Amino acid sequence: MVINGCDCLIVIKTQYREMGVPYAGETIREAVSLLKEEAAIEGDGLCRTIRKSGGVTGCVVTPLTIGTVPLLLSLAMGSAGLPVYVSETRNLYRYHLNLLPVEGGSHFDLVQERGGSRKLYENCTVSGFELRCNRGETVHLKLDVKGERPPAIYPYTDPLKTEGGERFSGTYVTYRINGKEYPNIYGLTLSTKKEGGTKTELWIKRALEQGGDLPDPIDELSITAQLLRDTYEYRYFGMFRITLTRLVLVSDETAIDCADAVIGPLRYYVTGTVNAEVFTSTGENLE
């Protein structure tokens, strides 16, 4: 199956759902370590190498769509919990996602189709992720994947389908800091490492000529992405929100040395909590 001109496809399988993610890029492969024995000065002069499989490593990069957001964000964060029905709606459910280290996160299987062959990577976890939102661009999520089992041949030949739906755009992402919206934020990159605990950093690009500077420290930052079609009930179905607390400024890399608009990057370290909300029209279990 050819996706975006590339003969590649990634399918994520959990206990409750199977989903082919829209293709943007992937580097999923078997993790291999080599134990090399150098030749001694005396002896036959042979070099020997022992090959040992280390499971799976690599990443998956995909644009976020209305259909993929609930599952992909729940895998990135690590925990989704049970869906909660939103009152005064017909069939709307909300999930509260909590950031957990890789040891406590969700597990899933991954099917890779590349060059006409299919491989199955079982019992994978997300060891880190990166969310990138830039004005005028599609919102992308990169999942760093790891696992301890070597790949196996995936025997099924049924066509693998890719999840469709409208894609989220950075143009329709709003940012509220300490309760106040800042329209001068041009883009944002959220990066989280989940091995040995959780470590989250944030890069914020803001246009200096479009509004006031950002406060320091930041007690709370909420990132809200919406799809603006009127068919989404109360505009919640086409929405996700990520909330971070207690952000400390690490560095200001702004350089005012041009006549054009100045986009100044700020780097923050998150010392508080990271959680998210997503909405779906079905109350299925995501984990």
The 10s digit of each residue's pLDDT in 115-147 is: 888 999 999 999 999 999 999 999 999 999 999
CB atoms within 10 A of CB 6: 12
Q: 147-194 pLDDT, tens per residue? A: 989 899 998 888 878 887 889 999 999 999 999 999 989 899 999 999
Provide long-range contacts, Cβ within 8 A and 24+ apart, for 73-76: 73/97, 73/141, 73/240, 73/276, 73/278, 74/106, 74/278, 74/286, 74/287, 75/12, 75/105, 75/106, 75/108, 75/126, 75/143, 76/126, 76/129, 76/131, 76/141, 76/143, 76/192
pTM for this prediction? 0.86
Structure confidence at residue 208 (pLDDT): 73
Q: pLDDT tier at 211 (50, 70, 90 boundaries)?
A: low
pLDDT level of residue 45 (50, 70, 90 thresholds): low
Cis peptide preceding 101, ω within 30 of 0: no
User: Between the ranges 47-56, 83-92, 100-109, where is the mean pLDDT highest?
Assistant: 100-109
**Confidence band (pLDDT; 50, 70, 90) for 280?**
confident
For the cut 50, the answer to whether the pLDDT of residue 1 exceeds it is no
Kindly report which listed range (186-190, 233-237, 269-273) carries the lowest average pLDDT score.
233-237
Which pLDDT score is estimated for 283? Answer: 67
User: Would you say residue 32 has pLDDT above 80?
Assistant: no
Q: State percent of the chain over pLDDT 70.
A: 82
Coil/strand/helix, residue 75: helix
When the pLDDT of each residue in the chain is averaged and rounded to a whole number, the result is: 84
Distance CA 273, CA 74 (A): 16
Q: Report whether pLDDT(73) > 60.
A: yes
Residue 48 pLDDT more than 70? no
